[in-house]
Amino acid sequence: MSRHRFPLYCTSWRSAWPWLLALSSVFGGNARAGEDYRCTIEHVVLGPSSDAAVQARATKEFKGKEFTVSRGTGVMTGALKNAYVTAPRVIDMGSDQNSFKVVTTLRPGEGSGPGSYVYLLVVREYAAGPTKPFMFADNDEVYFGYCRHF
């Protein structure tokens, strides 16, 4: 009798490979440990038509708030979001030489109003150390802060 026990449908390691591959893709997914981001907002810049009081309120409202980003899908959840009607698109996964980039667009008629919307997230994945600066643009509102892998 063999020292290795296999499920009834697998009689050897060779026949177990398809099952192991399937399990690794189900449980491994596209997010390895430490690959996604947890981000903290530090500063907000509103469009040019906003006065100083509105700017100060926006910064006070968002400063210190957090959101997370799935690097596999680009979906942001928490204080800032980028997935409404259309799915975000990861443009660049980032590396030691490139930023992580995600774009979401809503064309006229796809959103809740008559206009279009553009959301852009850039995380400086190449920045040295565990803290990665980010910039998120929601049309003419721009949020700055830092992200960490989790």
- 20 pLDDT above the threshold of 90: no
**What is the model's pLDDT at position 133?**
98
Where residue 43 falls among pLDDT bands split at 50, 70, 90? very high
Strands (E), the chain: 37-45, 66-69, 76-78, 89-93, 100-106, 117-123, 132-138, 141-149
Q: Using an 8 Å Cβ cutoff, are 143 and 43 in contact?
A: yes
List the chain domain ranges: 37-149
> pTM for the whole thing?
0.75
Average pLDDT for the chain: 82
Per residue in 84-117, pLDDT (tens digit) is 889 999 999 999 999 999 999 988 877 667 788 8
